């Protein structure tokens, strides 16, 4: 075997494995198959790989037509059709909410989680079964591409790497965890948390966005064995965003964004997820209006919220609370001709980009967040030297803190103060901070993220080569 080529730009053989894939299929009214581009930051970030490398992408079949495509086999996208009951347990009981809640520290431990028989059943007959189906699909693909690096994504797939490793001891495996890695996993029974750690440690490379998450993982994992733990923050496709910001669709939405906009606009853009801390954001804004009468009638908060995971009761409840608290702020402070909070619950990505261009303050205050792409996208295209108010628990804070106004996400008073500071900041300071953010994002495009990871895969492969050469 020749030593692996370390040149980062050469064409590679990759198998990407993620729950959601780059495309989903449906049928139109006439019965013709149609292809839809998958959403989300992950798919956008990885799409660049498709152009330059030999990539097979393995993902779950999520529509009826996906299942038909899965049965046909072949192609660069392999869709795995799961048993419906297994998928329900895997996705709606274990991955979201249990793992998501543990990893974002969202549980109030006095009353939740209840790891009851049903949850143990969902772990065994859902999460493990779906992970096994993914592992089998990876092993079948490795038979076609034995030199490929397998690149797993996220918390849906913690068990699959160990399952693959047992069947293919020499496979090259890597895993990127897109969400936080907390210090405290004690809400999970030991068998579950040990299986998660063991699954990840079957990889040659385990990667996180930040040093903080990587450090927590390393501290809890014990002996790392063959695994290298690294951290590289994901980023955005700067060229694509520049084009998008200048596009007709975004310009049209900018004109419609807020006829008769107030003097100052605070914007937030989020999925309706409890980790995003939307309710505390409204409460902090209410506190600002209570304590600083001078802002009444002059500043409004525009919240563009993409409805998320509404089949999970806690998510449906959270959206109801969002609507209630936004109304309460409006009832208390609203006046003829001025609405304090404008809430729009819709999936309209172009509207989000339009709002990025127009904010005076961008509020990104998650309880915890693996990274948070909004904190990079907004400053890249903003036209008003707007100020970023950023949670210290967002992964992006590690990179962006020197230009942002930092907040603790639980500190309502602190967030109200931060909003006041951001709204009152002088022009020169706002310009300097906005420029710092923009330049940082420009210089650290998503390509840097991918190249850094590919270099890590090379290093791991070189190390394995060294080991086998010595044998």
Q: For ligand GDG, which is the closer residue by CB, 70 or 234?
A: 234
Phi, psi of 121 (to 5 degrees): -65, -40
Minimum CB separation of residue 297 from ligand GDG in Å reads: 28
Which residue matches tokens 């009638």? Answer: 297
- Residue 35 CB, nearest distance to ligand GDG (Å)? 17
Based on CB atoms, which residue is closest to ligand GDG, 204 or 369?
369
* CB of residue 427 to ligand GDG, shortest distance in Å: 27
Least gap, CB of 381 to ligand GDG (angstroms):
11
Residues that bind ligand GDG (CB under 6 A): 39, 41-42, 178-179, 234, 269, 271, 306, 347-349, 352, 369-374, 377
Q: What is d(CA 141, CA 58) in angstroms, rounded to the nearest whole number?
A: 9
Burial state string for 290-314 with b = 16 or more CB within 10 A and e = fewer than 16: eebeebebebbbbbbbbebbeebee
Residue whose CB is less far from ligand GDG, 226 or 271: 271
For the CB of residue 10, give the shortest distance to ligand GDG in the complex, in Å.
25
Q: Which is nearer to ligand GDG, 199 or 370 (CB)?
A: 370
Q: How near is the Cβ of 126 to ligand GDG at its closest, in Å?
A: 22
Pick 271 or 420: Cβ nearer ligand GDG: 271
Nearest-approach distance from CB 48 to ligand GDG, in angstroms: 14
Tell me whether residue 349 or residue 465 sits nearer to ligand GDG (CB atom).
Answer: 349
How do beta strands 149-153 and 13-17 pair? parallel
What residues does 15 pair with on adjacent strands?
Answer: 56, 150
Question: Least distance to ligand GDG from the beta carbon of 347, Å?
Answer: 4
Closest to ligand GDG by CB, 338 vs 349, is 349
Nearer Cβ to ligand GDG, position 369 or 458?
Answer: 369
């Amino acid at each position: 075997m020749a030593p692996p080529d370390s040149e980062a730009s050469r064409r590679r053989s990759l198998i990407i494995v993620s729950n959601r894939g780059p495309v989903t299929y449906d049928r139109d009214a006439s019965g013709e198959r149609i292809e839809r581009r998958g959403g989300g930051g992950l798919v956008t970030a990885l799409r660049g790989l498709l152009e330059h490398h030999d990539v097979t992408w393995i993902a779950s079949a999520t529509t009826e037509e996906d299942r038909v495509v899965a049965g046909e086999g072949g192609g660069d996208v392999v869709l795995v059709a799961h048993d419906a009951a297994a998928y329900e347990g895997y996705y709606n009981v274990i991955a979201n909410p249990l793992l998501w809640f543990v990893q974002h520290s969202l549980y109030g431990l006095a009353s939740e989680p209840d790891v009851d028989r049903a949850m143990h059943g969902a772990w065994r007959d859902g999460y493990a079964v779906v992970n096994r189906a993914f592992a089998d699909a990876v092993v079948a693909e490795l038979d076609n591409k034995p030199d490929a690096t397998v690149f797993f994504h996220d918390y849906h797939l913690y068990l699959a790497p160990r399952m693959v490793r047992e069947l293919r001891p020499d496979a090259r495996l890597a895993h990127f965890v897109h969400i936080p890695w907390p210090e405290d996993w004690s809400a999970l029974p030991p068998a579950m948390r040990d299986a998660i750690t063991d699954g990840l440690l079957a990889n040659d490379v385990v990667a996180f966005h930040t040093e903080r998450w990587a450090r927590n993982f390393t501290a809890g994992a014990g002996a790392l064995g063959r695994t290298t733990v690294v951290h590289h923050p994901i980023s955005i496709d700067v060229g694509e965003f520049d084009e998008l910001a200048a596009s007709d669709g975004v310009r049209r939405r900018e004109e419609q964004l807020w006829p008769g906009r107030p003097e100052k606009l605070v914007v937030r853009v989020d999925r309706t997820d409890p980790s995003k801390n939307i309710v505390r954001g409204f409460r902090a804004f209410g506190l600002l209006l209570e304590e600083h009468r001078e802002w009444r009638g002059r500043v409004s908060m525009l919240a563009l919220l993409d409805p998320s995971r509404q089949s999970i009761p806690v998510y449906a409840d959270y959206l109801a609370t969002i609507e209630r608290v936004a109304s309460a702020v409006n009832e208390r402070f609203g006046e003829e001709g001025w609405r304090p909070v404008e809430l729009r619950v819709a999936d309209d990505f172009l509207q989000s980009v339009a709002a990025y261009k127009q904010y005076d303050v961008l509020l990104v205050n998650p309880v915890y967040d693996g990274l948070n792409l909004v904190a990079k996208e907004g400053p890249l295209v903003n036209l008003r030297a707007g100020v970023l108010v950023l949670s210290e628990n967002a992964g992006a804070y590690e990179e962006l803190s020197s230009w942002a106004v930092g907040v603790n996400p639980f500190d309502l008073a602190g967030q109200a103060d931060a909003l006041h500071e951001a709204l009152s900041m002088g022009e020169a300071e706002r310009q300097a901070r906005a420029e710092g953010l923009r330049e940082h994002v420009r210089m650290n495009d998503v390509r840097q993220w991918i190249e850094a990871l590919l270099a890590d895969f090379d290093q791991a492969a070189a190390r394995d080569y060294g080991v086998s050469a010595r044998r």
